[in-house]
Amino acid sequence: MIEKYIEPGQRLELKALKRVKLNNDATPEKTYNSKIYDILSEDRVEILMPIEQTKLILLPVDAEYELYFYTDQGLYECVCRIVDRYKSNNVYILLVELETNLRKYQRREYYRYSCALDMNTRALLEEEVAAVENNQNYIVPGLPLQNSVIVDLSGGGLRFVSTYKYDKGSTIICKYKLMVKGKEKIYQIPARILDVREVDAKRGTYEHRVQYLNLDNDIREEIIQFIFDEERKNRHKERGF
């Protein structure tokens, strides 16, 4: 039974299998966030139409997507096809048909969890960067750090905002706390700046996207576990539990 793995309210992502056309314009492969609205049968599921910046995304009927379900048991994937678009009870819905069986997806770390977590950072010294490049996590203790806020988190990296700016390609240390299995843990993770931009709505504030470097698998699993625990809590709050 498909209900054994997924249920209404759970988050999901759609990723185009190939280039598709939206409003007659070719668009590159992209990932869209949504939620399960209802489960109609073993191979048909209603999902909420994706929204970006308050605008509904009219994904084309007959287009095929990789579909990722975020469940309490982990991440599951399948291939789906959009068979209809409609409005029901003031809700805009996509009807999708599952074309392959659900299977456990192992690379959960790519999923980014939206949040607001305090973090401290600093640029690494030359000797620290050299150590990281040699797969050694040598960090000089006691050096001053700057405040920032994590706005999304994953097992592969994070995105943060700050009133200071790092150069793209630079290597930094990310220091933050997470509650894992009821215990607060402090993480100090070296990371590389993949992208940086000034926030349009707030001049003087910069958004940085980073990728972890030399991350221990046990730590990665702890971060992933934190994300799934928080997602579960959020779903319970939405349902009024």
Find the range with the poorest average confidence among 17-21, 46-50, 227-231. 17-21
Domain count, the chain: 2
Q: Where are the alpha helices (DSSP H) in the chain?
A: 126-133, 217-238
Residue carrying the six token digits 């995304």: 57
Q: Does the pLDDT at position 235 exceed 80? A: no
- Asked whether residue 43 falls in the same domain as residue 89, the answer is yes
- Asked whether residue 123 falls in the same domain as residue 228, the answer is yes
* Boundary of a domain, candidates 88, 106, 124: 106
- Asked whether residue 155 falls in the same domain as residue 70, the answer is no
- Asked whether residue 102 falls in the same domain as residue 54, the answer is yes
Q: How many CA atoms lie within 13 A of 4 on its CB side?
A: 5
Phi, psi values for residue 171, rounded to 5°: -110, 130
- Asked whether residue 213 falls in the same domain as residue 122, the answer is yes
Q: What is the pTM of this model?
A: 0.58
Confidence of residue 110 (pLDDT cuts 50, 70, 90): low
- Asked whether residue 156 falls in the same domain as residue 208, the answer is yes
- Asked whether residue 116 falls in the same domain as residue 229, the answer is yes
- Asked whether residue 160 falls in the same domain as residue 94, the answer is no
Confidence of residue 77 (pLDDT cuts 50, 70, 90): confident
CATH classification at residue 32: 2.30.110.70
Give CA 125 to chain center in angstroms: 30
Question: Does residue 241 lie in a domain region?
Answer: no
| Predicted confidence (pLDDT) per residue in 160-218, tens digit | 999 999 999 999 999 999 998 889 999 999 999 999 999 988 889 999 999 999 888 88
pLDDT, position 179: 92
Sign of CA dihedral 128, 114, 239, 38: negative
Percent of the chain with pLDDT over 70: 91
- Asked whether residue 71 falls in the same domain as residue 137, the answer is no
Question: Is residue 126 within 8 Å of 91, Cβ to Cβ?
Answer: no
- Asked whether residue 89 falls in the same domain as residue 120, the answer is no
Sign of CA dihedral 222, 226, 227, 228: positive
Phi, psi values for residue 183, rounded to 5°: -120, 140
Q: What mean pLDDT do residues 208-234 have?
A: 88
pLDDT, position 21: 42
Question: Is residue 162 within 8 Å of 147, Cβ to Cβ?
Answer: yes
More confident residue, 177 or 107: 177
Question: Does residue 32 lie in a domain region?
Answer: yes
**Nearest to 28, CA basis, from 39, 36, 17, 37:** 17
- Asked whether residue 231 falls in the same domain as residue 115, the answer is yes
Q: What mean pLDDT do residues 109-129 have?
A: 89
Domain around 146: 111-236
Q: What mean pLDDT do residues 89-97 have?
A: 94
| Predicted confidence (pLDDT) per residue in 26-68, tens digit | 344 578 889 999 999 999 999 999 988 788 999 999 999 989 8
Q: CA-CA distance, 49 to 17, in Å (whole number)?
A: 18
* Boundary of a domain, candidates 57, 78, 106: 106
- Asked whether residue 184 falls in the same domain as residue 94, the answer is no
Q: What mean pLDDT do residues 104-125 have?
A: 82
Percent of the chain with pLDDT over 90: 54
